[in-house]
Every structure is written in structure tokens, then in C-alpha cells.
Amino acid sequence: MQAVAYSRPSVLESAPGGQRLGLETSRGATPTGIEDHPRFFTGFLTAPQVASAALLAVADVAAARYHQPQLRASLDPVVTGNGDRLRFESFSGCGGVYARLDVLEAGLDGGEVGHGTTNVDVNNPLREALSRVGGDDPLHLRVGPDELAVTTSAGPVVEKRVPLPDRWLRGFAEAQVIAAGFDLRAELPAAEAVRFLRSLPGGGARGTAGGVRWAVPSGRTLRPTTRPVPGAVCLPGPERLVALRRVLRHATALRVYGPPVAGTAPVAGAWEVVLPGMRLTLTLSPEVARGFSGEGGVLDALATDAAAEDAELIAVLLAWEPRIDIGDLATASGLPAERVRAALVRLGTSGRVGYDTAEAAYFHRELPYDADRAERSNPRLRAARALVAAGAVALDGDIGTVTARDGHVHRVRDAAGTLSCSCLWWARYRGGRGPCKHALAVRMTRRGATVGQDAA
């Protein structure tokens, strides 16, 4: 369980000249270290109705389990101050949907944005109040404690104990690795965006939404297709986009990101609604029943000692940038760009970087959780290190032989960076969900990786 404490509940209250939205923060990371209740912004929102609806959409995802709708989650969104914008992020309880609201400089007025990351309280009374925001009344936003909270300890402390699944933390890492391989596939103007999104099923009982769908760009819209033709975008579990309906009336465009389609297997994708002064993005896993945590995109970086050392160096150079320039990091660190990218992947496993598909760039954040928890809890990585520690790997040129505890022998071919294995995992996924434990063990042995206590 994760304890998340706030000095008071977040509230939306009437104030002279408009309304005042106070979002309370928990313990978080800042440039000066860990801080209780850091402050990131005090000022006005330029589009109050839009921001309220978009924040509710992020909270909707944090409270949802799309794979098992009958079970509700209770995870507070994460907020990051990046100097020129605020980012609100959440993951669904089932680990298959990642939501991010970027309130850009144009959406903020009258205050400086701080630097750091923490949780922000979005409680049920606040949700109800935000849903009633209307008209053009000014809305003042405060993220973090006000001066009274800084100078006095008076007032209640609101503490929540929420389940924080390991797969949720691993999902943050996997989602940014997968998103880094996306390209812009389609952009729809406002009217077509609204028409398309409203045509999608809106949930209901499990299994009623029709599973994976495909669409192909056609002029200024998306046309449904029964198969993944070249240029098509995948929409796995379209009911998982229901949170976007909160902001449709304010949408100015819809952008869809995804990888090149190869074969018939479903793939992940990102659906971004462009709003006045902000962007709301939902990234969907390849299947409703398939969370991001098992995709395996980060395993290769975790299995190398070099990436661990490089990550320590790159971490020192990060400065809460809203857009990380890999070339600048390469110059500052003296590392080639590929090693910088691998280091960023590793940093992503502890939530220290995310990826913005709209800007095709990583950004710096620090999740307010145990930095090594996601790595320690990865079952394939633990199993691979145990195999190496047990001396179960033998190398012969491009072939690695792995002898499991039960006596089964698996052969791994690793030629020119292309992996294959004789195990059932590989036969089922063909590398589509990252390397199996045998392939990881072979690569770790080739690189002379140390296993230390992780193999215990």
C-alpha cells in the first residue's frame, strides 16, 4: 500500500471575481530534493471549462479498470511542473490505459510554473464541483499549499492508503518506451474528430465493444476497415476512449499516433485531443486484457550494466526539462546518442522520464515512489538473473544454451541483434512482447552483466 497524505482536501470554491481551484499536493520530488507538499503553480487558467473537463478525464482513467469494469481503482493523478507547463498523468487500475493532460504555457496565466513531481488530490466532492464549472467566470488555480499552509500546521491532514500495483509502475516505463516508436498517423479537424469519437462504443458490459478495431486515414477523417492495411491505425478496445468524451465540445483537432502496421496483430496507439492551451492524450495497450506492464520493451536496457552506469550519468544532467534534447545530452555526457536513448529507457523504469508523442521528445519527471521497485518486481528480469547466477547459460558462437531447473534445454540464437528462442513464450509472442527470460539470460552472459543480490 502507498500512503498519500495531503494537508487538506482539494477544493473548488467561490471567490471574489470568479472561482478558486486548489489542488493539494502530497510528498514529492523537486530540484532541491524530496519536499512535503511542493507548490508548482499559482495563477489563472485561460480556459477554465476546458481544463476542468480535461482534469476530470485524467481522474476518470485513474479510477477505471477497463478489463474488469466491476472493480474500481483509487489512484491519484501525478502532477509535474516542467517550468513552462503542468502535466497531469494517470494510469488505469488495469494498467492498459495511460492518460496525460499537458496544460501548456498558453493555458496558464499570471504565475510561474515550478519544477517537480508529486501526486495531486482529486476527491469525489472536487469531481462533482469540477463537473459544474461553466460560463466564462475566471478560474484561479493553485497547485500545492497556499501561504497559510506553509506558515502554520493548523488544519487536518488527509491521508489515503491506496494500492499501488507493481504492474502500474512498470506500465509507466513500458508506455513511454512504446510511445517513442510512434509516428503521427492521422490528424482530424474538430468536426470530424467529434463525429468519429462519438461513433465509438461507450463501454457497458465487458466484451460488448467488439474488441480490436482498425481505421485508415481517408482525406480529413478515419474510415473503418476490417483488416490492418498499410497506413491503418489500431483501436484496441475503443470503449477505452470514453474519457475523451468529456472534452469533445472543446476539441480543435484529433491526432492519432502509432507504429507502422506489420502483420495482423493489434498494436498500441495514442489518441490526442487538441484543446485551447492544452492537450489530452490517451495511450491504449494492444488489447483490453493486456496491460502495458508485460510488454517487455524495457528489459534489454535493464539487463545491461552499461545502461545502468550511463543512466546514473544522464540523471545528473536532467533538469526538469519539458523537452529533452538527446543531442545536447550526448554532447554534455560524452556518450553516443544510442547509449543516451538506452539510459533514458532505464530511467523510465523508475518513472524519471516520460515521452510526449506530440513533440516526439522525452521529458523529465520523478514519480514519488520507490525508484527501484519496478525493476526489482519484473519477473522475467528476476528469472533471467537467477539463470545467470546458477550458471545455466552456455555460449557457442551465435547460439546460447539455457538449461532450466527442470532439465529442459532452450536454445537462443542472437545474431546481428536479432533474437529467437526455442521456448513456448517465444513461439507464442515471437518477440512481440520483448525478450523471454532465456534470451535475456544469454544477452546478460554475453555482456558479462553482474547479477549480485538480484539473483537471490
Give the HSE-up count for residue 7: Cα atoms under 13 Å, Cβ half-sphere.
Answer: 22
pLDDT, averaged in runs of 10, over the chain (456 residues): 84 87 92 90 94 95 80 76 94 90 94 90 90 83 68 57 69 83 94 93 54 88 87 90 95 95 86 97 90 61 70 88 93 91 82 91 82 63 87 90 89 80 84 80 76 41
Please give the helix or strand (H or E) that residue 437 lies within, else none. Answer: helix 437-446
State which residues form the domain around 447: 378-455
C-alpha–C-alpha distance, residues 421 and 400, integer Å: 9
Q: Say what the pLDDT of residue 432 is.
A: 67
Q: Are 288 and 240 contacting, i.e. CB atoms less than 8 angstroms apart?
A: yes
Q: Do residues 32 and 111 both lie within one domain? A: yes
User: What number of other Cβ atoms are within 10 A of residue 413's Cβ?
Assistant: 15
Q: Do residues 14 and 131 both lie within one domain? A: yes
Q: Say what the pLDDT of residue 149 is.
A: 36
Q: Tell whether 256 is covered by a domain.
A: yes
Q: Tell whether 427 is covered by a domain.
A: yes
Count of domains forming the chain? 4
Q: Say what the pLDDT of residue 175 is.
A: 85
Query: Which residue has cell 495563477?
Result: 43
Q: Do residues 197 and 240 both lie within one domain? A: yes
Burial class (CB in 10 A: 0-12, 13-18, 19+), 263: exposed
Q: Do residues 122 and 174 both lie within one domain? A: no
Q: Do residues 443 and 398 both lie within one domain? A: yes
C-alpha–C-alpha distance, residues 203 and 220, integer Å: 26
- Using CA atoms in the order 435, 441, 446, 447, what is the torsion angle rounded to 10 degrees? 80
Q: Say what the pLDDT of residue 86 is.
A: 96
Q: Tell whether 115 is covered by a domain.
A: yes
Q: Tell whether 93 is covered by a domain.
A: no
Q: Are 272 and 185 contacting, i.e. CB atoms less than 8 angstroms apart?
A: no
Q: Say what the pLDDT of residue 82 is.
A: 94
Q: Do residues 243 and 281 both lie within one domain? A: yes
Q: Do residues 6 and 140 both lie within one domain? A: yes
C-alpha–C-alpha distance, residues 19 and 390, integer Å: 63
Q: Say what the pLDDT of residue 434 is.
A: 72
Q: Tell whether 253 is covered by a domain.
A: yes
Q: Say what the pLDDT of residue 198 is.
A: 92
Q: Do residues 142 and 175 both lie within one domain? A: no
C-alpha–C-alpha distance, residues 375 and 326, integer Å: 24
Q: Do residues 13 and 156 both lie within one domain? A: yes
Amino acid at residue number 265: A
Q: Do residues 177 and 250 both lie within one domain? A: yes
Q: Do residues 27 and 147 both lie within one domain? A: yes
Q: Do residues 10 and 121 both lie within one domain? A: yes
Q: Tell whether 114 is covered by a domain.
A: yes
